[in-house]
């Protein structure tokens, strides 16, 4: 199945129209009428589209990772994994550094004393802002290995499901019996069916994407964005700098690809990530783009992208660092360079355990705020603009997964003496 066709243009038109339409509706349409449109039309339509993508997440993650690992030579599996992990750590470190430098240079939290009162009012209205994660450090490492893979899939523990699929794929690659061959073929068939279903869902993308963005813009508007505009600008500027700086360097130096052509090839995955604000929901689209647009080897793309959906959260790590420092500045909490370094490390590690769903990074931010005694009610301000920022950082996460998959695949191709795909080569 190919993603070629009118979807790219329709998606862009849907995003633009829904963005403008939502803002205009919030400004000029009667609130009761607008609430009815959102409650009975745009919100249900957007949620159905989102649920269809989530519906495919478990079968796609399991089958893609098992088949991808099973098709890899065991001797190359470790090398591919080390390359992907090294690139992930480097990209995440650079992302957080960009965010911390930006927030220290522009200091968006200073000079806004009135926002402290606004934050307290919003926190009182909302009640509990968010809940800090129960597992950190060693406990998080232990929790990565599920005691029940079915429970992990049912509860949305995608990292646990991926660990099980990885182990299962290694076992499938080692066992060469008629029964194992039939099982390998059956799981491959599951992946084929899941990707075929994805083809039908992609055709609905412009409608679903438009509904999601209209709901967000008509609900949030620009009021809250104006209140903390400098913070929003710093986050978006840092995300853009990472995408157009770090990713371009990786594509040119390691993958040896033309960045302009490459970004054009991945635009459907980026648009889907922007609309859904979910790495997990976008994963089926990313796998399809990697295979049909970027022409990456299927086994490497499946392995790197499925693992990256939970472990490569560059945009999330950047956002968490900027948000913590912004709230520290807002409430007058002075953080030393050493403390900021600690925050950087936590953000990099936190990206691994962050759920690939809308708003999945907020519990990590809450945990860091508690560690450094920063008033948590400041998160109430962030909630007002988080949907927009979540859409943007998820786009960076998904594009980052595809960058790393491209770098690993092209590096492996050169190692084997095979030519790099000419369609995107520099």
What does the buried/exposed string (b/e) look like for 322-355 if buried means 16 or more CB atoms within 10 Å of the residue's CB?
A: bbbbbbbbbbebebeeebbeebbebbbbbbbbbb
- Kindly tell me the sign of the dihedral angle through the C-alpha atoms of 260, 264, 267, 269: negative
| Residue 358 confidence (pLDDT) | 53
E strands, 69-166, in order: none
**Tens digit of each residue's pLDDT (9 = 90 or more) over 53-101:** 778 777 877 887 787 666 665 556 678 878 888 898 899 899 999 999 9
Residues 6+ apart with CB under 8 A from 95: 238, 242, 246, 314, 315, 317, 318, 396
Tell which residue, 234, 246, 290, has the closest CA to residue 99.
234
Q: What distance in Å separates the CA atoms of residue 72 and residue 60, rounded to the nearest whole number?
A: 18
- Per the structure block, which two tokens stand in for 256? 């040896």
Residues of the chain with pLDDT under 50: 1-6, 125-136, 356, 422-424, 426
Distances (CA, A) of 192 to 70, 216, 284: 15, 34, 11
| Residue 249 confidence (pLDDT) | 96
| Residue 253 confidence (pLDDT) | 94
**Tens digit of each residue's pLDDT (9 = 90 or more) over 290-299:** 988 999 998 8
Whether the Cβ atoms of residue 156 and residue 146 lie closer than 8 Å to each other: no
Domains of the chain, start order: 7-416 (1.10.3860.10)
Q: What distance in Å separates the CA atoms of residue 268 and residue 246, rounded to the nearest whole number?
A: 21
Q: What distance in Å separates the CA atoms of residue 270 and residue 264, rounded to the nearest whole number?
A: 10
Q: What distance in Å separates the CA atoms of residue 266 and residue 272, rounded to the nearest whole number?
A: 10
Q: What distance in Å separates the CA atoms of residue 313 and residue 131, rounded to the nearest whole number?
A: 20
Residues 6+ apart with CB under 8 A from 267: 8, 11
Q: What distance in Å separates the CA atoms of residue 222 and residue 199, rounded to the nearest whole number?
A: 35
| Residue 125 confidence (pLDDT) | 47
Whether the Cβ atoms of residue 255 and residue 413 lie closer than 8 Å to each other: no
């Amino acid at each position: 199945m190919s993603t070629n066709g009118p979807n790219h243009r329709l998606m862009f038109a849907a995003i633009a129209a829904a963005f403008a339409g939502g803002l205009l509706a919030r400004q000029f349409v009667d609130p009761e009428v607008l609430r009815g449109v959102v409650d009975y039309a745009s919100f249900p339509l957007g949620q159905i589209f989102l649920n269809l993508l989530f519906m495919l997440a478990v079968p796609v993650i399991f089958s893609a990772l098992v088949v991808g690992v099973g098709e890899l030579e065991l001797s190359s599996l470790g090398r591919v994994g080390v390359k992907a992990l090294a690139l992930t750590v480097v990209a995440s470190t650079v992302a957080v550094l960009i965010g911390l430098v930006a927030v220290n240079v522009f200091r968006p939290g200073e000079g806004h004393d009135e926002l402290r009162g606004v934050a307290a009012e919003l926190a009182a209205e909302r009640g509990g802002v968010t809940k800090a994660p129960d597992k950190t450090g060693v406990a998080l490492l232990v929790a990565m290995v599920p005691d029940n893979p079915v429970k992990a899939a049912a509860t949305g523990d995608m990292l646990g499901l991926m660990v099980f699929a990885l182990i299962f794929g290694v076992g499938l690659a080692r066992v060469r019996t008629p029964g194992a061959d039939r099982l390998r073929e059956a799981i491959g068939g599951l992946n084929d069916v899941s990707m075929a279903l994805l083809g039908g869902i992609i055709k609905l993308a412009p409608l679903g994407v438009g509904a999601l963005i209209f709901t967000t813009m008509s609900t949030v508007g620009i009021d809250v964005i104006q209140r903390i505009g400098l913070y929003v600008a710093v986050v978006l500027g840092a995300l853009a700098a990472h995408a157009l700086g770090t990713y371009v360097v990786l594509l040119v130096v390691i993958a040896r690809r033309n960045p302009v052509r490459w970004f054009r090839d991945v635009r459907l995955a980026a648009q889907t990530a922007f609309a859904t604000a979910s790495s997990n929901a976008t994963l089926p689209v990313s796998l399809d783009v990697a295979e049909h647009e970027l022409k990456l080897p299927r086994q490497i793309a499946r392995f790197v992208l499925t693992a990256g959906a939970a472990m490569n959260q560059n945009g999330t790590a950047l956002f968490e660092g900027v948000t913590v420092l912004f709230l520290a500045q807002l409430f007058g909490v002075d953080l030393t360079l050493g403390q900021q370094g600690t925050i950087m490390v936590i953000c990099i590690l936190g990206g691994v355990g962050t759920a690939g769903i809308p708003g999945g990074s907020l519990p990590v931010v809450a945990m860091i705020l508690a560690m450094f005694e920063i008033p948590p009610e400041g998160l109430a301000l962030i909630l007002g603009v988080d949907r927009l920022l979540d859409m943007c950082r998820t786009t960076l996460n998904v594009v980052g997964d595809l960058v790393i998959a491209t770098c690993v695949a092209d590096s492996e191709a050169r190692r084997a003496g095979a030519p790099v795909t000419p369609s995107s080569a520099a």
